[in-house]
Structure 1
């Protein structure tokens, strides 16, 4: 029974439901543990413990149950089974347009590579105090997983999570431009985690196109997994957490918080925004809202991202409105209103 009960994790098949009911009537007619013969009780308890662990894993990974449910459906199609046998190493793959949606075997759905990647990323970024620490990366991963579950199109969850956890390990603000372009840390981490080459290349393609400065240069992710992570990353830069991160970053660099005499450059070009990885002349905590943060809502690539960004945008607008009023800076209040009308 425990074996079939575990199908609740992977997507219950009709024939399994029938078997569970038949077994239940035979060994647990009154639906009590005491009904189970003594020689089978220990085995049943072991099955239940396995089920508990699998359910915990399902909750942590979110979309795994959905993926496996699709797998169980595909398993019943003789043509697809025959196509997969001996050719795809235990995986069923089908393609929709330019996006590949890969349903892997249940062992692979445990995604051990993710745990290894998490550990290595935390070791690398755990000491960062510039606003790009591992807590930021973890928030992006959780938000990206949520966006993936809300998207109308299928997406490879493993690609989403790997991209999310690795998207900042080669950020130019942390490692400099030369290493950032090579994605050295991402390559090394995935090699240590033994991520398969096809998946590794997809993740690298995503990371190479994620970031505000890259958007200023006309680059953006083309794969859905990359678009999801891009939206999650930008959403973590706005809203209440975004306000906190912007303040931490300004303090870390010894920058100004607010100077009423220094107005933001709302039309910063890419070379001005990140010239040699340094801050620009008008950079500062408050100016950063106008030079970048309030623009991010318009850069979302997915519908879940657009919905989340709209909510977080309002939090920033409310903060700035209160801030300028309490700072007795009516000219800045007017500037904010004019900026939002554009």
Structure 2
């Protein structure tokens, strides 16, 4: 198939928009679109290959392990199948698939290094969408989708030391802030990512203070 990069990106955006229509877990098209836009903004400042950045951002949740029985290879496999139809060169396909495979947070005790600047841009953009006001909304949307309690003081947060343990987690949504969301600020790769994360992190801290005060009848 003889397509320009612009054609490929437009077709990919349309495909993902249709694929994720109706999602209520916080992993919908609007999440993808925000990550896409933020990744491009970061990528421009980092002189990254914007074609790779955009493909990886658009395809990063094409088959999220959380919705595919914990299969970590589902995303890269689906992304490759999609890119193959356009005749994209193998190094680009490999690069995008590597980014998707390495993107996710895998537990407080698990390092998730991203080897290329393109991957770092997409990883930062995805993590930025997990924190701040939107991140709070997405956390509770996902918790509701999975039937989890908002908060249970009797169930403490768990700092997972392996991806397997993290995948099995089914604790209350508020625990997720301590197990993941509050850790993301210090895991940003780029200067723009760190700058944006600092403000969103402060907002989450304020939210948690207010939430716990209300929960305990103090406000």
Q: TM-score if structure 1 supplies the norm length?
A: 0.59
Which of 268, 279, 295 matches 2:160?
268
- SS of structure 2 residue aligned to 1:184: helix
Write the mapping of 1:105-120 to structure 2, written as runs, cut at 5 A. 108=4, 111-120=6-15
For the 8 Å contact 1:120–1:189, the answer to whether it is kept is: no
How far did 1:216 drift? 4.8
For the 8 Å contact 1:169–1:186, the answer to whether it is kept is: yes
2:145 match: 252
For the 8 Å contact 2:107–2:161, the answer to whether it is kept is: no
How far did 1:225 drift? 0.4
Question: Alignment length, in residue pairs?
Answer: 215
1:67-101 Cα shifts (integer Å, max 9, x gaps) = xxxxxxxxxxxxxxxxxxxxxxxxxxxxxxxxxxx
Provide the C-alpha distance between the structure 1 equivalents of 2:157 and 2:56, rounded to a whole number of angstroms: 32
- In structure 2, the CA distance between the partners of 1:223 and 1:253, relative to structure 1 (3 Å rule), is same
Which of 312, 316, 321 matches 2:204?
316
How far did 1:184 drift? 2.0
Provide the C-alpha distance between the structure 1 equivalents of 2:25 and 2:37, rounded to a whole number of angstroms: 21
1:37-62 Cα shifts (integer Å, max 9, x gaps) = xxxxxxxxxxxxxxxxxxxxxxxxxx
Could you tell me which runs of 5 or more consecutive residues in structure 2 were left unpaired when the two chains were aligned.
Answer: none
1:218-243 Cα shifts (integer Å, max 9, x gaps) = 33220100010000000100000000
Provide the C-alpha distance between the structure 2 equivalents of 1:290 and 1:305, rounded to a whole number of angstroms: 20
Which of 18, 24, 40 matches 1:123?
18
Which of 175, 178, 187 matches 1:287?
175
2:68 match: 175
Provide the C-alpha distance between the structure 2 equivalents of 1:193 and 1:217, rounded to a whole number of angstroms: 35
- In structure 2, the CA distance between the partners of 1:241 and 1:233, relative to structure 1 (3 Å rule), is same
For the 8 Å contact 1:170–1:179, the answer to whether it is kept is: no
Which of 33, 41, 44 matches 1:146?
41
- In structure 2, the CA distance between the partners of 1:329 and 1:269, relative to structure 1 (3 Å rule), is farther
Write the mapping of 1:235-246 to structure 2, written as runs, cut at 5 A. 235-246=128-139
Provide the C-alpha distance between the structure 1 equivalents of 2:152 and 2:138, rounded to a whole number of angstroms: 19
How far did 1:215 drift? 7.9
1:233 match: 126
For the 8 Å contact 1:171–1:180, the answer to whether it is kept is: no
For the 8 Å contact 1:145–1:157, the answer to whether it is kept is: yes
For the 8 Å contact 1:116–1:193, the answer to whether it is kept is: no
Q: TM-score if structure 2 supplies the norm length?
A: 0.90
How far did 1:179 drift? 6.1
Provide the C-alpha distance between the structure 2 equivalents of 1:252 and 1:303, rounded to a whole number of angstroms: 34
1 or 2 for the larger relative contact order (CA 8 Å, sep ≥6)? 2
For the 8 Å contact 2:107–2:180, the answer to whether it is kept is: no
Could you tell me which runs of 5 or more consecutive residues in structure 1 were left unpaired when the two chains were aligned.
Answer: 1-106, 331-342
How far did 1:139 drift? 0.6
- In structure 2, the CA distance between the partners of 1:296 and 1:131, relative to structure 1 (3 Å rule), is same
Residue 203 (structure 1) aligned with residue 96 (structure 2): yes
Q: What is the root-mean-square deviation of aligned Cα atoms in Å? A: 2.0
